[in-house]
Structure 1
Amino acid sequence: MMGPRPGGPAATKAEDFRGTVRRILDLLRRNPLRLASVVGFGVLMVAGMLSIPTVLGHATDLVIEGATADGLDFAALTRMLGLAVALALATFAITVLNGRTIAKLAQDMAFELRADADRKISALPLRYFDSRSRGEVLSRVTNDIDNLTQTVGQVTQRIVQGLLFLIGVPIMMLTISPLLTLVVLLTMPLTVIAARVIGKRSQPRFAKQWATTGKLNGHVEEMITGHQLVTLFGRQEQGAARFKAHNEELYENTVRAQWVAGLLGPAMAFLGSVTYVLVAVVGGLQVAAAVLTFGQIQAFIQYTGQFSNPLNMLAGMFGQIQSAVASGERVFEFLDAEEQRPDPADAGTELDAVHGKVAFEDVSFRYLEDEPLIEHLWLSAEPGQTVAIVGPTGAGKTTLVNLLMRFYDLDAGRITVDGVDVSTIERERMRRRIGMVLQDTWLFDGTIAENIAYGKPEATREEVVAAASAAHADHFIRTLPEGYDTVVGAEEGSLSAGERQLVTIARAFLIDPSILILDEATSSVDTRTEMLVQQGMVALRQGRTSFVIAHRLSTIRDADVIVVMEHGRVVEQGDHDALLASGGAYARLYEAQFAQPAVEETPAGA
């Protein structure tokens, strides 16, 4: 692929914590029934847990009254204790049901996010993937989604429970002692301040942690896919050094994030201890003054614990929550990425019978605004012609056919097929008429027959075999253990590079395209196979317009038109003999490629 590959943007700080949280809540609201069930179960669970301290407080008062009066009312005490046990069992059962509901809610969100990510990948322009490593994109679609949804599953119940406690506990406290309730609530501003201060310091660190995770994954993916070259050039130590640098950066960012977030737990514990001491002192004085009973102060102290437990629990998960929000931010950034420009509303032109006249009319294009690549290019191909495009690396050869395929939109000018502007044709309709074979072979995990039929899934086995025969791939396929049913994949090593290329060429044969694009299509095959493929290409090109990008000039000598490009411009065009005779850019390329170095004879005895 021709063009710049600048590094993708990496998050360095939290851009919108609240906005990200709101979007996470919006995702949860996509399943209102389960979300309502979570809230409903939470209300029942908290109601049961709030009732238990009051019941136990009454039981304590019965015991104290029995010790100071005529005797203990065992029947009343038994009823109170039985009620407490029943409430505890009911609360346990509701908690179990709620946990299962939350697990389904979180996985529903994960399912929808993955589906959204899959749809997004199909809608993103090629420019997006050119500017980012595959490992970075993969990290957002897998690691960040998993981190987000797993954390949502773990904290949703606790958050719902905590919010209900923060509402219900003060109400129960007020029924016992407004004065003690005021003492407890006085510590709340300190808690909020601590959470805000620590949160502002930790969130940027979690954003850096997950951005570094993406860089590390990108490096690992590169080292795995390029393992042979890394080994060949002895770059293991350099690769290990880069991995170490990324790993150390991830280690440092993670430690800093977790350490800062971990400060909230001790801070909450300290404030809880202060609150407990104040309640014990003031409550003891009220018991001594006979304002409260022992059972009431016992219940109030339990409520104090219930009030601080959700805060302490959330403080303990604070780092995990911050990490999930950072992941959510990266996921939403991916889902919000600018999609390829939609087809115009009037892009309904149908190409029923394509003759193959292709014209580039004053076309200009650049990847970056300040770096022109193709400027004011004019080029035409008549129906059935084979147009070879040659030139030095970076001249814009591959970019030219990418523009024809509408992988990129033009900055100026237009491209026509049979006189019709391709921008007025739906991309899918346009691409159905074009066959493309790239230098880099791509096979998905499946059988050879399925790979050949990728562009025409409804093809019969006879059609698949015919296409393979035309590409001179039938013979080697039949020698495989399972023939056409042999399973191959993206990293399958059972096929040579040349054999994999023949499969992709057969794929192009099968769809019977009107326009053919060959981007170094024979560069991976041996000389004998190349001759066979060239013979097949001659048959395939009959009646079809073909664009052939080649560095090996021997493969395009019979082209009808050879176009020589330099710096995004057509500097020469003509047939092989005419261009050689002109002594221009093509002749220099040809001479440089085929000239034999002179061998000087060394005099005897020298």
Structure 2
Amino acid sequence: MNFIRKPFGYEPIVTKEDLKKDNKKKIDKPSDWKGVLTRIWKLVDEQRFLLIIVLLMVVASSALALLGPYMIGVIIDEYITKAKFAGLAKMIGILVFVYVFLSVTMYLQSYWMIGISQQTIYRLRTGLFNHLQKLPISFFDKRQHGELMSRMTNDIENVSQTLNSSFIQVFSSILTLVGTTVVMLMLSPLLTFITLTIVPFMYFAMRWITKRTSKLFKEQQKAVGDLNGMIEETISGQRIVKAFSQESRMLEEFSVKSDRLKKTGFWALIYSGFIPKVMNLLNNVSFTLVAAAGGILAFYGYVSIGEIVIFTEYARQFTRPLNDLANQFNTVLSAIAGAERVFAIIDEKTEVDAAMDNKNYKLKGNVTFENVTFQYNQDEESPTIQHVSFHVEAGQTAALLGATGAGKTTIMQLLARFYEVNEGKILIDNIPIDKLPRQTLRSQTAFVLQDPFLFEMTVRENIRYGKLNATDEEVLEAAKEANAHEFIKKLPNGYDTVLTADGGEISQGQKQLLSIARALVADPALLLLDEATSSIDTVTELKIQEALERLMQGRTSFVIAHRLNTVQKADLVFVMEGGELVESGSQEELVKQKGRYYNMLNNSKK
């Protein structure tokens, strides 16, 4: 698969050929049931006591469910067939109490189990989200955001539904199955044997079905994630889709992914749909055999009518838990597939800081690259940047120039420790960058990107995002220094105006001013500006330039820009070409050399 470079990362380009190849891939093998279930069990740790109570309620309800039919048989044999009415009302009252208490225990076990499952899912969802915050940028660069969202929502919801209902259902079915078999053997071993003759047929039928559904449900989960990813990215990038008239391509890609989900979902439901049909058929066959054999035995006096009633009810109870187990099996399979996908994310390696000695270090801003080489993918033919060396003093502004793909943004990413260098060293204040905790480094670094991102919150909160404990006065001062105060006052609710996620209510230039205000309130030692003034009208650009000059005052700044007029005041200029630093020095030095930078200046004046 190919990748396209984006600001601070890479994103996969999905082509029709890629999708066809994906369709031809073999379906993954079944999940590691034991490992997944063990990890889910560990999440229930805090509520083990309540879970034990739930299990006791299940035992009670299973026992009462077995007691009811037995009492009905006793009432028939001892009272109705003998026309004995003394004590009949008492027995009926006890029977009513049994079924009422059965309903109470079933309600309580369901009520408590829902609480357990929701708490468990809360821990799972929170654990996944917390882990996502600790993963490196490289993890997100190569994954569709919608697919990750699917794991946070669809996959976890599957686990939730299973814990809510299937856990009790499976445990209850097993208890009922064992209890029913024991009572049936006590009543009539012969009729029990006749009932058990259907078990081999059930086993082989279920094995044939689940062998197929286990793979299909896992593939269905993957197809849902892929489709969600494609939808999320298409909606987020709708302006780009329309700008390049790619609607037909998006429809084609959606059609292929949707077709994949349709096919896997179709066959998963087809095979799983066999389960109730097969189980009902075998259930009816078992009931018919028991009724016929029981009738013959009753005719010859080997069993009573009450015993036949009891046994037929138990025979039906025997097949019912088998039917329930078979039906729940599909739900459990889907939940295991979802849980496995969630745990796969949780198992991803997080950003780990080996040394924490400089946790409270205050950056001065001296930056040194010593023979740095880096590439995003090891299978690339050549490194993204190679043998890059330079030094920037604290408070200086360094301009990075060069064509797209020259390695300018990569230098920014390495400075922020979004990636680690393959060779060479990066020093900040003569401290190797890997000896600086990422939190320490990034909390003193601010970014102003080409396409600023705004959150769905108020203007005030968006600015304060650079420093969460900033006062309203600090926010106001930062907005004024960023030349954003005037347009903010004109918004419907001023600083309390709630912006949408894409900031559609304001212009691109105004978004950039808010981004600068966010950086100003953070008061960083290191500033990274990536095409901060591109695609901006001249009037707004002047405001942004003025705000940026205030922002860069006294701070070490790295500026990427295609317009040379935006870097005229830079102390140092670094010209990148093909991943190499081909020219570096002050503007006066580079002009005297009459090299690439000199040619750039001349060409910009034409």
Offset from partner CA, 1:84-130 (integer Å, 9 cap, x none): 22111111122122221222222112211221121011111101100
| Structure 1 stretch displaced more, 80-89 or 10-19 | 10-19
Trace 1:506-517 onto structure 2 (pairs within 5 A): 506-517=517-528
For 2:368, the aligned partner's letter is A
Trace 1:16-55 onto structure 2 (pairs within 5 A): 16-18=31-33, 19-55=35-71
Asked whether the 8 Å contact 2:400–2:560 carries over to 1, the reply is yes
Aligned CA-pair RMSD: 2.3
Provide the C-alpha distance between the structure 2 equivalents of 1:268 and 1:116, rounded to a whole number of angstroms: 39
Asked whether the 8 Å contact 2:218–2:337 carries over to 1, the reply is yes
For 1:23, the aligned partner's letter is R
Provide the C-alpha distance between the structure 2 equivalents of 1:387 and 1:135, rounded to a whole number of angstroms: 37
Cross-structure match for 1:562: 573
What are structure 2's unaligned runs of at least 5 residues? 1-6, 15-21
Cross-structure match for 2:198: 187
Alignment pair present for 1:434 and 2:422: no
For 2:447, the aligned partner's letter is M
| 1:149 aligned to which of 160, 166, 172 | 160
Cross-structure match for 1:601: none
Cross-structure match for 2:282: 271
Given the superposition, is the C-alpha separation of residues 260 and 29 from structure 1 closer, same or farther in structure 2, using an over 3 Å criterion? Answer: farther
Q: Tell me how far 1:273 sits from its aligned partner.
A: 2.9
Alignment pair present for 1:343 and 2:343: no
For 1:263, the aligned partner's letter is F
| Structure 1 stretch displaced more, 220-229 or 279-288 | 279-288
Q: Tell me how far 1:314 sits from its aligned partner.
A: 3.0
3-state DSSP of counterpart to 1:74: coil
What are structure 1's unaligned runs of at least 5 residues? 67-71, 597-606
Alignment pair present for 1:159 and 2:170: yes
Provide the C-alpha distance between the structure 1 equivalents of 2:27 and 2:131, rounded to a whole number of angstroms: 24
Q: Tell me how far 1:579 sits from its aligned partner.
A: 3.0
3-state DSSP of counterpart to 2:582: strand
Q: Give % identity.
A: 37
Provide the C-alpha distance between the structure 1 equivalents of 2:262 and 2:46, rounded to a whole number of angstroms: 36
| Structure 1 stretch displaced more, 283-292 or 440-449 | 283-292
| 1:504 aligned to which of 508, 511, 515 | 515
3-state DSSP of counterpart to 1:493: coil
3-state DSSP of counterpart to 1:517: strand
Provide the C-alpha distance between the structure 1 equivalents of 2:546 and 2:225, rounded to a whole number of angstroms: 46
Cross-structure match for 2:268: 257
| Structure 1 stretch displaced more, 156-165 or 352-361 | 352-361
Q: Tell me how far 1:381 sits from its aligned partner.
A: 0.7
Q: Tell me how far 1:201 sits from its aligned partner.
A: 0.8
Offset from partner CA, 1:299-332 (integer Å, 9 cap, x none): 1111111111122123334433322222222222
Trace 1:134-283 onto structure 2 (pairs within 5 A): 134-283=145-294
Trace 1:42-441 onto structure 2 (pairs within 5 A): 42-63=58-79, 65-66=81-82, 72-340=83-351, 342-344=352-354, 346-350=355-359, 352-371=361-380, 372-441=383-452
Cross-structure match for 1:599: none
3-state DSSP of counterpart to 1:383: coil
Provide the C-alpha distance between the structure 1 equivalents of 2:600 and 2:273, rounded to a whole number of angstroms: 65
Offset from partner CA, 1:218-258 (integer Å, 9 cap, x none): 12112211223333333333322322222222111101111
Cross-structure match for 2:18: none
| Structure 1 stretch displaced more, 522-531 or 467-476 | 522-531
3-state DSSP of counterpart to 1:487: coil
3-state DSSP of counterpart to 2:583: strand
Provide the C-alpha distance between the structure 1 equivalents of 2:120 and 2:218, rounded to a whole number of angstroms: 21
Q: Tell me how far 1:589 sits from its aligned partner.
A: 4.5
For 1:106, the aligned partner's letter is S
Provide the C-alpha distance between the structure 2 equivalents of 1:15 and 1:583, rounded to a whole number of angstroms: 65
3-state DSSP of counterpart to 1:96: helix
For 1:241, the aligned partner's letter is E
Q: Tell me how far 1:350 sits from its aligned partner.
A: 4.7
Offset from partner CA, 1:41-83 (integer Å, 9 cap, x none): 11111111100111000111135642xxxxx111233232222
| Structure 1 stretch displaced more, 134-143 or 5-14 | 5-14
Cross-structure match for 2:11: 5
The count of aligned residue pairs is 588
Asked whether the 8 Å contact 1:389–1:562 carries over to 2, the reply is yes
Given the superposition, is the C-alpha separation of residues 197 and 159 from structure 1 closer, same or farther in structure 2, using an over 3 Å criterion? Answer: same
3-state DSSP of counterpart to 1:250: helix
Q: Tell me how far 1:526 sits from its aligned partner.
A: 2.5
Q: Tell me how far 1:187 sits from its aligned partner.
A: 3.1
For 1:105, the aligned partner's letter is I
Given the superposition, is the C-alpha separation of residues 29 and 98 from structure 1 closer, same or farther in structure 2, using an over 3 Å criterion? Answer: same
Provide the C-alpha distance between the structure 2 equivalents of 1:417 and 1:191, rounded to a whole number of angstroms: 69
Cross-structure match for 1:603: none
Asked whether the 8 Å contact 1:392–1:566 carries over to 2, the reply is yes
Asked whether the 8 Å contact 2:361–2:440 carries over to 1, the reply is no
